[in-house]
């Protein structure tokens, strides 16, 4: 156990002056909580550590190698320490476990152990218990990875890329900045390029998607009963985090839609494109002249990820064939060609002709939204909830009377927050054009601190319960899978 203590000091030693930004940004741990380290009672100053020739864990190196591979930094650091303290024996590296042919190194264990120190109650455990718990968790991760290999779980790279792109764009939108500005901020604050940051996100999303596929295959959809939700809430009520700076918000959405004249005229053009294809005109030429989006997808897309009408049309096509009639989606009219098909996905080319609303279409939508708002404000008019159920085109909220439910201010879309920030409780905003729809909002209530309850937050608690039940079932499966693979613990 003395060796373990020395390793913990080695881990602490990495977090010195240069990389303190990454310490604060990634682990949310103030640098001041990491004092000048020492090794076996031999004190080192920061200047002394800088004078040693070891591998700095700079932000660039962090994103290049990742936390799971701190052993590279650890090894370089330890060689320097051994040079400075040749009289002190230190174990440089060893294998602490083997799982289905995959090794777990002592440096992997110590890196994970360091991360777990922020877990409530973890530091109060005996040191050998800390090591055992963390090693058990790493072994379970390796068992799960082994199962992913055995089940031939493959993540489509194009779908993975789309998710990462969406994440980056969403992060920029939440900050009210452009993707370019976000790229500059990442480079300035983390010392990595957008390509490196994106690659790290790819790794994270790949792992998440693989585990998600495992859950789909072996667990499936879990829909807890009301009784199960109530039992979960009764047991874990005190453990569920509170909400801070939150409000109860409702909305009515009136989309700006093109007139039937516009829709029909664009459909005529799409039909002419299909006629040209039937007469032998090359697809690439027509796509270049008419399509208003990239002609080909970059890879296979999973079934269920596309517009239902779009996907339904492809089910009737053979490889290389195109649709006999244009297919209507919310973007416009589509001429679809099937390029590839497999069990869980399809690859298509698409000539999209957008149906764009005119200025008169926008004016018509605004007039309706404004008149609906005035009717709600008038004495004896329909309530906001009744109007939302009848007229709102927001499918996620209309059936709930337009309510988003309780949300923390930081969670709401920036464009919504800009409108809501000017409202008092009970006030209804003017219609605002947001993402192609005129929306107006009702601020039902706001609280600085609140706890989840069954009456107002049932859907959220239902999801928590389903996640809890799924995790329990997955843990049971992992325990079974442990018996199917070779595990050799050498700690």
**Count of the separate structural domains present in the chain:** 4
For residue 482, tell me if it sits in a domain. Answer: no
Mean pLDDT of 146-150: 88
**Confidence band of 382 (pLDDT split at 50, 70, 90):** low
The tokens describing 431, both together, are 């219609």
Give the integer Cα–Cα distance in Å for 84 and 52: 8
CA–CA distance from 337 to each of 298, 328, 477 (Å)? 14, 15, 42
Q: Write down the pLDDT at residue 465.
A: 96
For residue 459, tell me if it sits in a domain. Answer: no
**Confidence band of 305 (pLDDT split at 50, 70, 90):** confident
Q: What is the CATH number of the domain that holds 251?
A: 3.10.50.40
The verdict on 247 and 396 lying in the same domain is: yes
Q: Write down the pLDDT at residue 265.
A: 94
- Percent of the chain residues past pLDDT 90, beyond the cut: 43
The verdict on 294 and 438 lying in the same domain is: no
Q: Write down the pLDDT at residue 454.
A: 94
Mean pLDDT of 359-363: 94
The verdict on 209 and 72 lying in the same domain is: no
Does 410 score more than 70 pLDDT? yes
pLDDT mean across residues, the chain:
79
Higher pLDDT, 299 or 41: 299
For residue 446, tell me if it sits in a domain. Answer: yes
Where is average pLDDT lowest: 117-121, 348-352, 386-390? 117-121
For residue 445, tell me if it sits in a domain. Answer: yes
Mean pLDDT of 127-133: 90
The verdict on 143 and 168 lying in the same domain is: no
**Confidence band of 379 (pLDDT split at 50, 70, 90):** low
The verdict on 145 and 157 lying in the same domain is: no
The verdict on 77 and 138 lying in the same domain is: yes
For residue 283, tell me if it sits in a domain. Answer: yes
* Chosen domain end from 319, 335, 354: 354
The verdict on 124 and 138 lying in the same domain is: yes
The verdict on 276 and 343 lying in the same domain is: yes
Q: Write down the pLDDT at residue 431.
A: 96
For residue 426, tell me if it sits in a domain. Answer: yes
> How many angstroms from the chain centroid is the CA of residue 426?
33
The verdict on 140 and 129 lying in the same domain is: yes
Mean pLDDT of 241-263: 93
Range of the domain at 380: 243-257+359-450
For residue 469, tell me if it sits in a domain. Answer: no
* Chosen domain end from 309, 329, 354: 354
The verdict on 57 and 137 lying in the same domain is: yes
* Chosen domain end from 149, 168, 191: 149
Mean pLDDT of 34-50: 32
Q: Write down the pLDDT at residue 415.
A: 87
Q: Are 462 and 230 in contact (CB under 8 A)?
A: no
Mean pLDDT of 228-240: 94
Does 64 score more than 60 pLDDT? no
**Confidence band of 292 (pLDDT split at 50, 70, 90):** confident
Higher pLDDT, 324 or 381: 324
Higher pLDDT, 47 or 139: 139
Three-class DSSP labels, the chain: CHHHHHHHHHHHHHCCCCCHHHHHHHHCCCHHHCCCCEECCEECCHHHHHHCCCCCCCHHHHHHHCHHHCHHHHHHHHHHHHHHCCCCCCCCCCEEEEECCEEEEHHHHHHHHHHHCCCCCHHHCCHHHHHHHHHHHHHHHHHHHHHHHHCCCCCCHHHHHHHHHHHHHHHHHHCCCCHHHHHHHHHHHHCCCHHHHHHHHHHHHHHHHHHHHHHHHHCCCCCCCHHHHHHHHHHHHHHCCCEEEEEEEEEEEEECCCCHHHHHHHHHHHHHHHHHHHCCCCHHHHHHHHCCCCCECCCCEECCCCCHHHHHHHCCCCCCCECCCCEECCCEEEEEEEEEEECCEEEEEEEEEECCCCHHHHHHHHHHHHHHHHHHHCCCCCCHHHHHHHHCCCCCCHHHCCEEEEEEHHHCCHHHHHHHCCCCCCCECCCEEECCEEEEEEEEEEEEEECCCCCCCHHHHHHHHHHHHHHHHHHHHHHHHHCCCCEEECC
The verdict on 377 and 250 lying in the same domain is: yes
Q: Write down the pLDDT at residue 491.
A: 79
The verdict on 6 and 39 lying in the same domain is: yes
Higher pLDDT, 51 or 398: 398
Does the model's pTM come out above 0.85?
no
Q: Write down the pLDDT at residue 38.
A: 30
pLDDT in tens, 9-29: 333 333 333 333 333 333 333
pLDDT in tens, 418-467: 898 889 999 999 999 998 999 999 999 999 999 999 999 999 999 999 99
For residue 238, tell me if it sits in a domain. Answer: no
Higher pLDDT, 223 or 57: 223
Q: Write down the pLDDT at residue 119.
A: 79
**Confidence band of 46 (pLDDT split at 50, 70, 90):** very low
> How many angstroms from the chain centroid is the CA of residue 367?
37
Higher pLDDT, 8 or 484: 484
């Amino acid at each position: 156990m003395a060796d373990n203590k020395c390793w913990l000091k080695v881990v602490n030693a990495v977090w010195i002056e240069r990389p303190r930004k990454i310490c604060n940004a990634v682990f949310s741990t103030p640098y001041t909580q990491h004092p000048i380290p020492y090794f076996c009672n031999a004190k080192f100053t920061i200047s002394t550590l800088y004078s040693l020739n070891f591998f700095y864990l700079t932000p660039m190196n962090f994103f290049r190698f990742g936390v799971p591979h701190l052993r590279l930094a650890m090894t370089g650091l330890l060689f320097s320490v051994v040079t400075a303290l040749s009289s002190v024996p230190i174990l440089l590296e060893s294998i602490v476990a083997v799982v289905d042919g995959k090794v777990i190194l002592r440096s992997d264990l110590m890196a994970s152990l360091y991360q777990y120190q922020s877990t409530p109650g973890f530091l109060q455990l005996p040191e050998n218990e800390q090591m055992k718990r963390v090693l058990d968790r790493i072994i379970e991760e390796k068992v799960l990875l082994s199962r992913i290999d055995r089940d031939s779980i493959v993540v489509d790279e194009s779908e993975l890329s789309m998710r990462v792109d969406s994440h980056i764009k969403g992060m920029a939108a939440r900050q009210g900045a452009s993707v370019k500005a976000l790229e500059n901020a990442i480079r300035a604050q983390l010392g990595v390029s957008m390509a490196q940051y994106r690659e790290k996100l790819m790794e994270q999303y790949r792992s998440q998607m693989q585990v998600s596929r495992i859950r789909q295959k072996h667990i499936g959809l879990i829909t807890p009963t009301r009784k199960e939700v109530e039992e979960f809430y009764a047991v874990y009520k005190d453990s569920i985090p509170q909400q801070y700076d939150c409000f109860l918000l409702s909305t009515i959405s009136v989309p700006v839609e093109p007139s039937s004249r516009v829709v029909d005229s664009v459909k005529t053009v799409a039909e002419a494109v299909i006629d040209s294809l039937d007469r032998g005109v090359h697809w690439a030429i027509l796509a270049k002249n008419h399509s208003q989006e990239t002609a080909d997808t970059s890879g296979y897309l999973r079934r269920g990820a596309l517009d239902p009408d779009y996907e339904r049309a492809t089910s009737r096509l053979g490889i290389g064939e195109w649709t006999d009639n244009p297919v209507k989606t919310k973007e416009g009219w589509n001429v679809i060609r099937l390029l590839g098909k497999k069990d869980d996905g399809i690859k298509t080319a698409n000539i999209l002709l957008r149906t764009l609303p005119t200025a008169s279409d926008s004016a018509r939508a605004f007039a309706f939204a404004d008149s609906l708002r005035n009717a709600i404000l008038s004495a004896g008019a329909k309530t906001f909830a009744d109007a939302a159920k009848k007229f709102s085109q927001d499918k996620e909220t209309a059936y709930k009377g337009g309510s988003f439910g309780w949300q923390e201010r930081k969670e709401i879309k920036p464009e919504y927050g800009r409108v809501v920030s000017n409202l008092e409780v009970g006030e209804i905003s003017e219609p605002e054009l947001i993402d192609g729809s005129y929306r107006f909002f009702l601020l039902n209530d706001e609280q600085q601190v609140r706890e989840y309850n069954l009456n107002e937050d049932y859907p959220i608690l239902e999801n928590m319960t389903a996640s809890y039940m799924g995790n329990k079932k997955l843990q049971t499966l992992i325990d079974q899978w442990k018996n199917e693979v070779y595990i050799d613990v050498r700690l």
